Amino acid sequence: MNPTRGQRSGEPDPHANQPVLNAGPMPEKAAATILLVHGRGADAEGMLSLYEELGAEKLAAIAPQAAGNTWYPHSFLAPLDSNQPYLDSALGGLDSLVADLLARGISCERIVFLGFSQGACLTLEFVARHARRYGAVIGLTGGLIGPPGTPRNYPGSLAGTPVFLGTSDPDPHVPFERVKETEVVLKRMEAKVELRRYPGMPHTINDDELDACRKLLKRVVAANHHMD
C-alpha cells in the first residue's frame, strides 16, 4: 500500500485503484498543473471538458476518478465518521497526486485546484488540512466538510494563496452559511479569498464563475512565467 495515500495499514482504500485522467502538456513542461475534482455522480471526463472550456491549454490537467462516481456517500455536513473510509481515501488520493507532483520538481505555486460541488468540498477540506502556498484554489459550490460546530483549528498557513469561492444561494446541497464559514477560515489561514454569491442560481457553474476562473488561471500562468 502506498503510504502517501494517508490510509493506515489494513484500512479499506476504496478510491485507491481508480483511474486518473490527464490532458495538456506534461506537468514538467507546463506553466502550472490543475487538479480537477468532479462532483457526486459526475466523472473525471466531465471535468476535462471544463478544462477545455476554461481555455487552459498551457496548464497540465489531472482529473482523478472517484469509485462509483462519489467521493463519499453522505452529505458533506454529515458526521465525519459516517463518510469513512471513503473520505480519508479521497483525501489520501489528492495527497498522493500532490506528493507525486512535488517529487517531480513541480513547486506548490504551480499547483492549482478546481472542484465542483462534492469535489469542491473535498478540495477545500484537503487544502485546509495541507496548508501551503498553492498557485490557486477554486471551489465552485462547496465548503469545508463536517457538521455544524466542527473545529476548524487547521495548522499551517496558505501564505497568500488566491482562493475563489462561487456559490448559488439558496443551494439544495450547500448552505451559504458554510461557504461563508469557509471564507472566514481560509482568510484566517492567510489565503486571499474572493467569494461570489449568486442568488437563485441552480446547482451548476455559471458564465461569471468561468470568467473568474479564466482570469485567475491567467494570473497563475503569468506569475510562473515570471519565476522561470
CB 20, CB 76: distance < 8 Å:
no
Closest-CA residue to 38 (of 118, 94, 99): 118
* CA 73/CA 84 separation, integer angstroms: 9
Torsions phi, psi of 167, nearest 5? -155, 150
Distance CA 166, CA 49 (A): 19
Q: How is residue 99 written as a grid cell?
A: 506528493
Q: What is the pLDDT along the chain (228 residues), one digit of tens a residue?
A: 233 344 455 679 999 999 999 999 999 999 999 999 999 999 999 999 999 999 988 899 999 999 999 999 999 999 999 999 999 999 999 999 999 999 999 999 999 999 999 999 999 999 999 999 999 999 999 999 999 999 999 999 999 999 999 999 999 999 999 999 999 999 999 999 999 999 999 999 999 999 999 999 999 999 887 555
Report how far residue 185's alpha carbon sits from residue 144's, in angstroms, rounded to the nearest whole number.
9
Provide the 10 A C-beta neighbour count for residue 147.
Answer: 12
Tell me, what amino acid is at 203? H
pTM here is 0.94
